[in-house]
Chains A and B, each alone.
Chain A
């Protein structure tokens, strides 16, 4: 590798917290044709409603439990939004590959909340909030400073 390449080579980011790896893995897993994740005001779309990283589960802080809420938003029908949510569940529970240094231990979907907005003067917006519990393990323990 040339000196130039070594100087400007992009090193993998080191994440001490599990929040960043989970966020990026979830966004890339949910992105698909016809469904945008965040960064949009169009329908249908999916938004990361919230991510909460809990306290460390072991003495070294390798294992973390993350609570995630994913919001499916559509204006076509409740059935279409429900189908979008079910596809989200299928995608997150089947394979979640985290960035280097982290490994997904498991994903469990939990509560589902319907927050459909209906008003006489506006079009109905179908909103479903799906909760997940995600366990992640830090497999890289020290920053790569070389």
Chain B
């Protein structure tokens, strides 16, 4: 096993027509939830229920420190206010997070609609923002599965 820290698997978005990914500044954590429906195909010949795989789907969630001036966060806000789809990547880029960051190395690429943005403003805490996205179409997994 080659365990890795969650720190390196980050949430990135493409801003506007950009071809490169920008890290969602102030990210604390993210989660990628993949699902597949189970279609039951049981008949009376078996005692145990049987299934085949149905539609696949995914949701992405991230918690960040709220910053309305940050261009990556604005891209997500536009996804909700203007209904645009967000081009995202969750994982590790070749070259890390800085100016040298390149193509996806390990993770999930896709586009998504923004289904929720929740801001939390507690006394004595930095304001946080939780964003929820529902993936539109297929996820592309890196490295590719053979």
Tally B residues with Cβ within 8 Å of A: 13
Q: Is the CB of A57 within 8 A of B126?
A: yes
- A58-66, A89-97, A120-128 - interface stretch: A58-66
Q: Which of B1-52 contact A (CB under 8 A)?
A: 7, 10, 23, 25-28
* B5 vs chain A, min Cβ distance (A): 9
- With beta carbons under 8 angstroms apart, the residue of A59, A105, A141 that contacts B126 is A105
Q: In the bound complex, do residue A59 and residue B124 qualify as a contact, i.e. CB atoms below 8 Å apart?
A: no
Pair B27/A59 contact, Cβ less than 8 Å: yes
How many residues belonging to A are interface residues under a CB distance threshold of 8 Å? Answer: 13
B23 adjacent to A58 (CB under 8 Å): no
Q: Which of A57, A59, A105 contacts B7 (CB 8 A)?
A: A59
- In the complex, A106 Cα to B125 Cα: how many Å? 9
Of the residues B26, B97, B124, contact of A63 by C-beta under 8 Å: B26
Over the window 65-109 of chain B, the binary record of Cβ atoms lying under 8 Å from chain A Cβ atoms (1 yes, 0 no) is 100000000000000000000000000000001100000000000
Q: Are A58 and B97 in contact (CB under 8 A)?
A: no
**Which chain B residues border A135 with CB–CB below 8 Å?**
126
Please, how many angstroms separate the alpha-carbon atoms of A106 and B124 in the complex? Answer: 9
- The answer to whether B65 and A63 touch across the interface, beta carbons within 8 angstroms, is yes
Within 8 A of A (CB), among B91-138: 97-98, 124, 126
10 closest residue pairs by CB, A with B: A59-B7, A58-B26, A59-B27, A58-B28, A108-B124, A135-B126, A59-B10, A58-B27, A63-B65, A58-B65
